[in-house]
Amino acid sequence: MTSNDSAMSVDEVLEQFMMEDRHDGEVLESYVRAHPLFAAQLIDLSRLIATPEADYEGPLLAIDESRIDASWIAYSAVAAGDAPKEDPFAALIGERGKAMSVALGVPRQVITCFRERRVDPSSVPAPILRRFSEEFELPMAHVIAAMRLPAPASSGRSFKADGKPGVAGQISFEQVLIDAGVSDTDRALLLADG
């Protein structure tokens, strides 16, 4: 339930607490014991969670209305970050695909699996996603979104999968590495999430 990890920040601890299914006295106690430095914040958050939503029913105050208008003006003035207009993985062919396989330390067929959307993004460790993110100069969200796109029509390769299939027939990154013959040692390094 809780990890007694002294390196965790208060934000991480509170977010972990919020993700719990229950927020009763027992769960709170386990967190306070594990993170005594953040006891006050945990207790306050627990109390706020127990407090019913205000959900004010009446008309908004004029000041709230005008603040919402001002907030929209500010928001709409923010230049939106570019969304991927095309599939970034499609560019991983030829020399660029080869360079990427070298950079990640995986056989070329692993890169092909990414290009053909065979890999379940939730199984890919953050450092690998980050490497793609840097390569494509895109936020990680867009990398993951691209991995969830339907497979390109031209991908006609057959592949085997002994592991549990992911979303829309995708397989885990680990299974892709196994299929590509990556050694146990290299696999452990590639699957490390840090």
Partner 1 sequence: MIVPLTKRKKDGTLYERPDPIGSLLARLDELPRDEMIERARIRDRAHPDYVPSECLLHFVRGSRRDNSEAWFERLYKILQERVRRLVPRAEEGGGGASLTRERIRDAVFGRFDELLAADRRRPGDKLDFFEVRFDMAIKRLRLDAQDKVWREENRTRPVEGDGDEGLLPEVEAAAASTNPFDGEVFSDPLFRERLYVAIDALPPEQSRTMHLLLLGWPTHSGDPEMMTIAKALECTDRSVRNYRERAMKTLLALFNHGDDQ
Instruction: With H, G, I as helix, E, B as strand and everything else as coil, classify residue 171.
Output: strand
Among 149, 151, 168, 189, binds partner 1 (CB under 8 A): 149
Q: Are 142 and 103 in contact (CB under 8 A)?
A: no
Instruction: With H, G, I as helix, E, B as strand and everything else as coil, classify residue 119.
Output: strand
Residue 168 is a binding residue for partner 1 (CB under 8 A)? no
**Number of residues binding to partner 1, judged by CB under 8 A:** 63
Host H or E run for residue 98? helix 94-104
In degrees, rounded to 5, the angle at the alpha carbon of residue 136 between the alpha carbons of residues 130 and 141 is 55
**For residue 139, what are the CA distances in angstroms to 15, 88, 96, 130, 133?**
22, 12, 19, 9, 6
Among 1, 9, 64, 155, binds partner 1 (CB under 8 A): 64
Q: Which is nearer to partner 1, 56 or 153 (CB)?
A: 56
Residue 187 is a binding residue for partner 1 (CB under 8 A)? no
Token representation of residue 69: 């208008």
Among 4, 21, 22, 79, binds partner 1 (CB under 8 A): 79
Binding-site ranges for partner 1 (CB under 8 A)? 3, 5, 8, 12, 14-16, 18-19, 24-25, 28-29, 32-33, 36, 39-41, 43-57, 60-61, 64, 67-69, 71-72, 74-76, 78-81, 83, 121-122, 125-126, 139-142, 144-145, 148-149, 193
